[in-house]
Structure 1
Amino acid sequence: MTSENKFNRRKNYPSLSPIPILLGAGIAFLVISTFVFGADSPNPEWGKYWMIRPLILTPLAGALGGAFYAFLSYQTSRGFNRTVAILLSLVVYLISLWLGVVLGLAGTMWD
């Protein structure tokens, strides 16, 4: 008679990878850099360090969008439809990128 050890059975789910999060933040940084570093003559009312806020907020919003993609990627391994997950992730990433740009540039270029 053989006994089966039930404690050693584990399902292999993929772990949350930082790659989509970093990729989302990197893309967002490139997008906001085109606006921030492309400003030829910024308004003096904006202050000396006006570009710090958009360069921080927008990549954070992009990282949140990348984290949402990583979460849905994890859900596809549990049975969620992969096509729906990718499309939903793309929509959420674009919305978070847009909100990050708006929040970052509010009061400066976005008036």
Structure 2
Amino acid sequence: MTTTNNTTKPIFTGALGKRMLTGAIIGLAIISFFVIGAGKGNPAWGDYWRVKPLLLTPFLGAMVGLCYDISEPLGRLNGWMGKVFLLLSFVGYFIGMWMSMVLGLAGTMWH
């Protein structure tokens, strides 16, 4: 008789929540710096132009944290492949955060 060992990673873990929260907090901190630093802004942007970047960027930052959590097991591979995947995960994280800022500021500060 053979037994199978089905050890699968649960979808919602404490690490996933921490990574998503970290991504959202980093996104909110970065976008707040730009939104608060803009002052009153361009009158053509409307009165509530700050709402879109302040909501969209932290949400997308949380999604970037989710993508990082999904790719994290690849970084634990042995040897140089693990290091390459870990480096690619960090690069992907920074690209994702940059793209979330671009999408949050599209139509206002990002022309």
Same structural fold, with TM-score higher than 0.5 when normalized by the shorter chain = yes
Shift of 1:32: 0.5
Shift of 1:10: 4.8
Q: What value does the CA root-mean-square deviation take over the aligned residues? A: 2.4
Counterpart of 2:36, as a letter, is F
Query: Once structures 1 and 2 are overlaid, which stretch shifts more, 59-68 or 25-34?
Result: 59-68
Q: Secondary structure at the match of 2:37?
A: coil
Specify whether residues 22 and 101 from structure 1 end up closer, same or farther in structure 2 by C-alpha distance, changes over 3 A only.
Answer: same
| Structure-2 residue corresponding to 1:45 | 44
Query: Once structures 1 and 2 are overlaid, which stretch shifts more, 93-102 or 25-34?
Result: 93-102
Counterpart of 2:105, as a letter, is L
Q: Secondary structure at the match of 1:42?
A: coil
Q: Does 1:28 align with 2:27?
A: yes
| Structure-2 residue corresponding to 1:103 | 103
Query: Once structures 1 and 2 are overlaid, which stretch shifts more, 85-94 or 26-35?
Result: 85-94
What is the rounded CA distance, in whole Å, between the counterparts of 1:12 and 1:107 in structure 2? 43
Match runs of 1:77-96 below 5 Å = 79=77, 81-96=81-96
Q: Whose Rg is larger?
A: 1
Q: How many residues align?
A: 106
Query: Once structures 1 and 2 are overlaid, which stretch shifts more, 13-22 or 65-74?
Result: 13-22
Deviations 1:24-43 (A, max 9, x none): 11111111010001112311
| Structure-2 residue corresponding to 1:11 | 7
The unaligned stretches of length 5 or more in structure 1 are none
Identity %: 41
Counterpart of 1:84, as a letter, is V
